Amino acid sequence: MIEAWAMTSPSLASRLDRVKPSATVAIATKANELKAAGVDVISFSVGQPDFEPPAHILDAAKAAIDTGVSKYTATRGILPLREAVAADSKARRGGHEHSPAEIVVSVGAKHTLFNLALALYEEGDEVIIPAPYWVSYPEQVRLAGATPVIVDAAPEDGYKLSADALEAAITDKTKAVILCSPSNPTGAAYSPTEMRALADVLAKHDVWVIADEIYARLTYGEFEQKSLLELAPELRERLIIVDGVSKTFAMTGWRIGWMLAPAHVAKACDKIQSQSTTNPTAVAQYAAIAALTGPQEPIEAMRETFEARRARIVEGLNAIDGIRCGTPEGAFYAFADVRELVGKTGPAGVIKDDLALAGYLLDEARCAVVPGTAFGAPGHLRISYAASEEQIDEGLRRIAAAAAKLS
């Protein structure tokens, strides 16, 4: 008889102990599992447009396939795409130019940010991140061995970092500051005056400035969107802009994002990418060229639809007892303050925090939302309005009914 021996596995890397799994992905996964089981779930959890890309983008991808686009490309992306990125940026950012050598195209903006984390941060460095923040910012900092320094931006300040708070957070260990405008998760966007005040602080300190402008074309009402590059060109040699096609062009799954950065930073990220993913998907690059250079009217139509949905969901949330929600300037998220609901009792017991409330709404209302704790803002929920008006109306009805059951 062969005796069975207990087997052990080698350990995993200790760096994983520093990192939390993505809460947005976890919520979406659970919602999708319920849907697959036949449960009628309304998802307000995923940060992606519910539209398909415009037809001319799909046509460009099909044409690329038909002409044999199926091989490796340059690691940092094909030259025509980088030229299109440069031209688009110049047109939208006050005429300030970047050369193709200052652009690296990656597998989505998240990949761009990950490359930057490896290229810029190391043990002992601090990276300032305003909260509420996108879930991956601090985790990528930790993976690189550096320390995220979270600076709270309060609801009464519109969830935006003040110049005074930024100044107070900067130390001799600060390596970078990450700014996202319009913001995921809040939809808050910095006015030119507010951004200029931050730039005045940043100009005094030798730190990298990473401006995540992935939602820059999705702003509403009278809000005036200005890039940090346009407002503070003196920061150009320390400024890195992150952008892509995912949100504006409804191309989340195509995975095309990029950086506009000083040439030596771009070269460093090109080196990192050459040893990880190599080039972004060839066909998707040609689709991205069509997105940037083709008709923009479908993009404006999507933006107008989001604006109408924004009004609908903000009004509906504020009509629910225990929920308060300001009007976001951009993106497609409402960031609801639900602190009045936390501590109440539902059918299954006390709602002890926003995580429990999100779970309750999924179980009771069959609505998937993301708890604010995931974004460094306990007592809040992120509710995406990248959903049809019918889904928004039905979701609001369900959430109101579930909230009414709490006492």
Residue 130 and residue 35 share a domain = no
- Which pLDDT score is estimated for 20? 79
Read off the pLDDT of residues 175-194 as tens digits, 9 standing for 90 and up. 999 999 999 999 999 999 99
Provide the token pair at 136: 């991956």
Q: Are residues 116 and 154 located together in one domain of the fold?
A: yes
Domain boundary among 244, 260, 293: 293
Which of 293, 314, 348 lies at the terminal end of a domain, its last residue?
Answer: 293
**Structural domain includes residue 57:** no
Of 238, 270, 293, which marks where a domain is finished?
293
The predicted structure's pLDDT at residue 334: 98
Residue 318 lies in a domain: yes
User: Is residue 2 very low, low, confident or very high in pLDDT (cuts 50, 70, 90)?
Assistant: low
Q: Is residue 288 part of a domain?
A: yes
Q: What is this structure's pTM?
A: 0.95
Q: First CA to last CA across the chain, in angstroms?
A: 64
**pLDDT (0 to 100) of residue 9:** 85
The pLDDT value given to residue 26: 73
CA distance 344 to 341: 6
Query: Do 270 and 190 belong to one domain?
Result: yes
Does 258 fall in a domain? yes
Under 8 Å between Cβ of 351 and 406: yes
Q: Tell me, yes or no, whether 244 and 277 share the same domain.
A: yes
Please indicate, yes or no, whether residues 190 and 218 belong to a single structural domain of this protein.
yes
Give the number of domains in the chain.
2
Q: Would you tell me how many other CB atoms lie within 10 Å of the CB of residue 316?
A: 21
Task: For residue 268, tell me if it sits in a domain.
Answer: yes
Tell me what the pLDDT averaged over the chain comes to: 95
> Do 260 and 227 touch, CB atoms closer than 8 A?
no
> What is the greatest pairwise CA distance in the chain?
80
The CATH number of whichever domain residue 264 belongs to comes to: 3.40.640.10
Do both 104 and 228 map to the same domain? yes
Q: How confident is the model over 120-134, as a mean pLDDT? A: 98
**Predicted confidence band of residue 285 (pLDDT cuts 50, 70, 90):** very high
Query: Rounded to an integer, what distance in angstroms lies between the CA atom of residue 21 and that of residue 233?
Result: 36
Label residue 236 left, alpha or beta by phi (over 0 means left) and psi (-120 to 50 means alpha): alpha
Predicted confidence (pLDDT) per residue in 346-361, tens digit:
988 999 999 999 999 9
pLDDT at residue 164 greater than cutoff 80: yes
pLDDT of residue 32: 84
- Side chain identity at 260, as an amino acid letter? L
174 and 233 inside one domain: yes
Domain check: are 175 and 309 in the same one? no
How distant is the alpha carbon of residue 11 from its chain centre? 32
**Within this chain, do residues 262 and 356 fall inside the same structural domain, yes or no?**
no
Same domain? For 145 and 204 the reply is yes
Question: Is 407 within the bounds of a domain?
Answer: no
Question: Domain for residue 242, yes or no?
Answer: yes
Residue 140 lies in a domain: yes
Q: Which domain holds residue 378?
A: 16-46+298-400
pLDDT tens-digit map of 59-104: 999 999 999 999 999 999 999 999 999 999 999 999 999 999 999 9
Tell me, yes or no, whether 241 and 130 share the same domain: yes
* Measured CA angle at 338 (ends 23, 326), to 5 deg: 100
Give me the sign of the Cα torsion angle 37, 406, 383, 28.
negative
Tell whether 281 and 317 lie within a shared domain. no
Report pLDDT digits (tens) over 197-229: 999 999 999 999 999 999 999 999 999 999 999
